[in-house]
Amino acid sequence: MDISETLRHRILNRRAGMSLDAEFYNTSEVHALDLDVIFGRHWIYAACDPELPEPGDCVTVEVGSNSILLLRGEDMEVRGFHNVCRHRGARLIDARSTTIGNIVCRYHGWTYDETGKLLFAEHMGAGFDKSCHGLKPVHVRSVSGLLFICLDEAPPADIEYLAQTLTPYIAPHDLANCKVAHVSELVEEGNWKLAMENNRECYHCDGNHPQLTVPLSEFGFGFSPDELDQRRSKDIRTYLETIESEHARWEALGLPSAEVEELSSRVTGFRTMRLPLMGAGESHTLDTRAASGKLLGAFNESRLGGLSVWTQPNSWHHFMSDHIVTFSALPLAPDKTLVRTVWLVHKDAVEGQDYKLDNLINVWMMTNQQDADLVRLAQLGTQEAAYEPGPYSGYTEPHVEKFCEWYIGRLASTLLEPRAHIAAE
């Protein structure tokens, strides 16, 4: 796509270790570029298996101006389609989530099956070829029940590496046998990259997240203390020792725990690590005890820490012994982002009996709102004439830098060689 010389220059000459120039957060030009290059050509986290558990269940996801329909077929496969009728283009499913038989356009009744094939179109005459008017497909890749979509015809192939690496970490939490306990949709008043940058560090946690820092240590999110810090701080030493002993214990239980960090070294960037919870913590709750009495998968012990997974460009997830929380960030406008959070519990857990909803969702409901406030302030600041890129902390913000490196790298390689990400596999 055509972009201004100024933006081209900014992309190709970003200063490493510094926050991005203001126009990356504020302009419709960058917003359009982001939707094209990042959200139009990479794997985007869209939903998870328990959001559409049965054949006929579907969810819609808005990616920029594209509405994408995910539908589970009789064969239990989840397929993705552009949610656009091939007759005169009406939106087919006008709901966030519903259950259907065939896909029937309410305008003139064109009817498609679960594979997108046009089955029925009345009054179109003998020469009309139904086979040329099927729904336009969208790539879907399930990674142990996390559903990624790609709008590009030739998606980055290294999703396979991500899937291979993450599957042994995620699979024991048995997403397929979970159910949705709660969904929150929060519109943050900031650019999607500010929402992501905020997620990629915990520098802000101590001062802003009194609830989250009950179960979680600020040190698990890319903090790499220097020797001086380690000598000075008993908390840091305790944390590092805990990681070592807990990782050994969890690995012995068959749960991969070590950090894998590929945030900027892959086209489909990601990171994972099983993080210890504070004290004898079991889960992301205010008392750090498991929120649900029905543990996931085959777990019979609740002190399994929290497996965290982060994917570029738009998701993060926490898998505990008793519940899972998944998050996606989707750009709505240069200064607006939808953060969608889904809490999952064992499919047989009964609300009020096995878990109390408030207790399950409290920590992240409050944390999300606190983060939304910080993102709003960051957005306001980047709109000021006085804003200029500031330095990231090498100790606490390495993953913010990696996010920016990945993002600018994707833009740059597309500018220099439009199909570069395919060649890079």
**Residues making contact with ligand FES (CB under 6 A):** 85, 87-88, 90, 105, 107-110
CB of 104 to ligand FES, least distance (A): 9
* Selected range binding Fe ion among 145-153, 218-226, 366-374, 379-387, rule: CB under 5 A: 366-374
* Selected range binding Fe ion among 63-71, 138-146, 314-322, 371-379, rule: CB under 5 A: 371-379
| 422 interface partner picked from Fe ion, ligand FES, none, CB below 5 to 8 A per type | none
User: 90 or 286: whose CB is closer to ligand FES?
Assistant: 90
Burial 171-194 (b: 16+ CB within 10 A, else e): ebbbbbbbebbbebebebbbbbbb
- Whole-number Cα distances in Å, 76 to 34, 124, 210, 213: 33, 32, 42, 39
- Strand-strand pairing, 306-311 and 323-333: unpaired
User: 49 or 371: whose CB is closer to Fe ion?
Assistant: 371
User: 371 or 397: whose CB is closer to Fe ion?
Assistant: 371
Helix axes 398-416, 5-12, angle to 10 degrees: 130
CB of 201 to Fe ion, least distance (A): 8
User: 71 or 339: whose CB is closer to ligand FES?
Assistant: 71
CA angle 283, 195, 289 (to 5 degrees): 5
Burial 217-254 (b: 16+ CB within 10 A, else e): bbbbbbbebeeeeeeeeeebeebeebbeebbebbeeee
- With CB under 5 A as the rule, give the number of residues binding Fe ion: 1
CB of 114 to ligand FES, least distance (A): 17
| 110 interface partner picked from Fe ion, ligand FES, none, CB below 5 to 8 A per type | ligand FES
The CB density around residue 331, as the number of other CB atoms within 10 Å, is 23
Cis peptide bond prior to 389, omega within 30° of 0: no
Cα(54)–Cα(29) distance, rounded to whole angstroms? 41
- Whole-number Cα distances in Å, 191 to 5, 7, 22, 199: 22, 17, 11, 13
Q: What is the DSSP code (8-state) at residue 83? A: S
| 371 interface partner picked from ligand FES, Fe ion, none, CB below 5 to 8 A per type | Fe ion
Long-range contacts of 99-102, Cβ-Cβ distance < 8 Å, separation of 24 or more: 99/54, 99/56, 99/57, 99/58, 100/56, 100/58, 100/71, 101/56
CB of 371 to Fe ion, least distance (A): 4
| 9 interface partner picked from Fe ion, ligand FES, none, CB below 5 to 8 A per type | none
Out of 282, 371, 397, 401, name the contact with Fe ion by CB under 5 A.
371
CB of 101 to ligand FES, least distance (A): 16
| 408 interface partner picked from ligand FES, Fe ion, none, CB below 5 to 8 A per type | none
* Selected range binding Fe ion among 98-106, 217-225, 365-373, 378-386, rule: CB under 5 A: 365-373
Q: Is 394 helix (H, G, I), strand (E, B) or coil?
A: coil
| 105 interface partner picked from Fe ion, ligand FES, none, CB below 5 to 8 A per type | ligand FES
User: 85 or 372: whose CB is closer to ligand FES?
Assistant: 85
Question: Which parts of this chain interact with Fe ion (CB under 5 A)?
Answer: 371
